[in-house]
Amino acid sequence: MKLLRGLGIGIAITLTALTTQAKADFGTADVGNKNNETKIFEAWCGERGNDCKVKFDTQSILINEKDEVLYRRIKTFFYNANNGVCNAYGFWCIGRKYSFDIVYIKNDGSESVGKIIFAKEDVALRFMTNLKLSTGIMHDRGDPRCEQGQIFHEGICLSPNTAAEVRTREKESANASNAVIEHGRAIGTGLAVQGELQREGLESAGNSIQQGLGNIKLQQNTGVIIVPR
């Protein structure tokens, strides 16, 4: 009986644990967070070509697993995007780089700057997300380049109202441009038709003149007068 009672208690505890586990988190609906999952980045440190690994640890940033800067010592950072010069297809860009100048306080109390460089923009933006989350800087979930509530549009962060106004003006401008283009096409078509009619008229007049000259020549040779119709 004691054995059965103990077995029953064990089963009850197991079922309780399973029930609790089933209710935790989002389960199969959880798709993760790619920005948070990426903790180690391959980058260039200091200058282009100087390979390094940057890791976001619990309390600090690690460079190559040895050089460490606590998050609380980071004052701010500046981001610079250089898309380089791309070919006609847009997939081969010379000089492309995305760099971070991170202003921080060194161990001796002086202020300095650490430079982290990436070759791909999407990787740089994931790095920015981690940097902002780790240092407590609030940002928009849709784009880490913007503050909360802002929208990134054509290289700048805008408020929702301003972004809506800009998009409305862009739409109106595009519609006006399309109307001008269609009007130009209509004029071009009309001129082409007019030119064709003029060409046909000139050809017809030329044929009549040639026929008239032929009749005059025939009259001179035969003495017969032929009146053109």
Q: What is the pLDDT along the chain (229 residues), one digit of tens a residue?
A: 554 455 455 555 555 554 545 455 665 566 565 545 568 999 999 999 999 999 999 899 999 999 999 999 999 999 999 887 777 666 667 778 999 999 999 999 999 999 999 999 999 999 999 999 898 877 656 667 676 666 666 556 776 678 677 778 777 777 877 777 877 787 777 677 777 777 776 677 667 666 765 655 555 555 544 444 4
What pLDDT, on a 0 to 100 scale, did the predictor assign at position 8? 53
Q: Which CATH class is domain 34-149?
A: mainly beta
95 secondary structure, DSSP code: T
What residue segments make up the domains of the chain, in order of their start?
34-149, 159-222
What pLDDT, on a 0 to 100 scale, did the predictor assign at position 43? 96
What pLDDT, on a 0 to 100 scale, did the predictor assign at position 109? 94
**Burial (Cβ within 10 Å: 0-12, 13-18, ≥19) of residue 127:** buried
Cα-to-chain-centroid distance, residue 63: 29
Q: Which residues contact 174 (CB under 8 A, 6 or more apart)?
A: none
What pLDDT, on a 0 to 100 scale, did the predictor assign at position 166? 76
What pLDDT, on a 0 to 100 scale, did the predictor assign at position 73? 95
The token duo for 1 is 């009986």
The token duo for 228 is 């053109």
User: Among residues 147, 130, 129, which one has the least CA distance to residue 138?
Assistant: 147
Could you tell me if residue 136 is left (phi over 0), alpha (psi between -120 and 50 degrees) or otherwise beta? left
What pLDDT, on a 0 to 100 scale, did the predictor assign at position 226? 44
Alpha-carbon torsion (172, 174, 175, 177), positive or negative = positive
Can you name the residues that pair with 50 across neighbouring β-strands? none
What pLDDT, on a 0 to 100 scale, did the predictor assign at position 227? 45
Three-class SS state of 122:
helix
Three-class SS state of 117:
strand
